[in-house]
Amino acid sequence: MRPESFAFLQTYLNNPSPTGFEKEGQKLWLEYIKPYIDEYFVDTYGTVVGVINPKAKYKVVIEAHADEISYFVNYITKEGYLYLRRNGGSDPLVAPSKRVNIFGEKGIVKAVFGWPAIHVRKVEQDKAPTIETVFLDCGASSADEVAEMGVHVGSVVTFEDEFTVLNEKFYVGRALDNRVGGFMIAEVARMLKENKKKLPFGLYIVNAVQEEIGLRGAEMVAHRINPDVAIVTDVTHDSQSPMYEKKTAGDISCGKGPVITYGPAVQNNLRDLIIDTARKSDIAFQRASATRATGTDTDAFAYSGSGVASALISLPLKYMHTTVETVHRDDVDNVTRLIYETLLRIEDGHDFRYFV
């Protein structure tokens, strides 16, 4: 990875972009991608779309989502402790002893997830932390002091953890799900520009909001763009670490390449084009199967309008929805390259129908 790209990845991942409050991260992403696109637009809820060849009739989307899991302040006790609601799939099990940022009216307020010491608990009766039992301590001794700090019910909370590199091979941090996807599609746009590739269709590079609460940003922007094709990238579970059951989770490994999904929402001919591209480009890949839905923005695009030929290229990731989400650097490069190479094989007016 070139140094400039790595610097952007680090800055982009460290910037908080909780679901529904993605603005600052979206502004960073847009500034990075601007040199590589012809125009852009931002929709009402903050999805950002960079466009190449905007006048073309045939439209292809490459997409990732920008938001990260977080919490909302839900209740403030008279002693100044804060109880929360989840914003997306936040896991209270990983919360105790973590540092957080609360986005208050006067700026960021630092806080911690407190937890009773082992000395005072009946350990044999311990239960896993839940959203009802975890709480924040922002150093205040009363609800009035919390209010003076600018924190109120509805304030958004994100973990403080930042990007690191593990063993020179793994990228680690919070919110790799799925801002690393936004990074990869931005890199595709850069590669097209710097390699002087002229596409015969309109390319819409979509960084969507609000995926973590039900694919909402993708639903909205799919109707606006009305694309013919959508290639979505998101993360999927590496199943090699302890406590995974491969019979249900599949056999997916970080470092062994992009994951190509089979499922009803995935258009078979587009998926097969991606597989053929991987083989011809000498990109190792893995396979996964979905049930009724992929659980990603692929579903929102596939079933929008009169139906959009859609496919999912996933990045293997360890420890999803924790503060130490982990991906292999080679997989990041290869997902990017696979999307890029696939775009070069899509034709103007490409007909993906199964038969005519």
Say whether both 135 and 199 belong to one domain: no
Q: Of 107, 130, 159, which marks where a domain is finished? A: 159
Distance between CA 351 and CA 353 in Å, rounded?
6
| Residue ranges of the binding site for Zn(2+) | 65, 177, 212, 234, 321
Residues 271 and 152 in one domain: no
Domain ends where: 159, 183, 214?
159
Per the residue annotation, which of 22, 68, 187, 211 is the catalytic one? 211
Same domain, 58 and 110: no
Same domain, 252 and 210: yes
pTM: 0.96
pLDDT tens series, the chain, 356 aa? 899 999 999 999 999 999 999 999 999 999 999 999 999 999 999 999 999 999 999 999 999 999 999 999 999 999 999 999 999 999 999 999 999 999 999 999 999 999 999 999 899 999 999 999 999 999 999 999 999 999 999 999 999 999 999 999 999 999 999 999 999 999 999 999 999 999 999 999 999 999 999 999 999 999 999 999 999 999 999 999 999 999 999 999 999 999 999 999 999 999 999 999 999 999 999 999 998 899 999 999 999 999 999 999 999 999 999 999 999 999 999 999 999 999 999 999 999 999 99
CA distance 341 to 338: 5
Residue 321, in any domain of the structure:
yes
Last residue within a domain, chosen from 159, 187, 214: 159
Domain membership flag for residue 269: yes
Residue 355 included in any domain? no
| Domain of residue 151, residue span | 70-159
Number of domains in the chain: 2
The one-letter code for the residue type at 217 is G
Residue 168 appears among annotated catalytic residues: no
- Residues belonging to the binding site are 65, 177, 212, 234, 321
Residue 191 lies in a domain: yes
Shared domain check, 328 and 232: yes
User: Strand pairing of 202-208 and 170-173?
Assistant: unpaired
Residues 17 and 93 both lie in one domain: no
Both tokens assigned to 57: 């009739």
Do 209 and 140 fall within a single domain? Answer: no
**Six-digit token string for 13:** 């991942």
Whether residues 237 and 340 share a domain: the answer is yes
Q: How many CB atoms lie within 10 A of CB 98?
A: 18
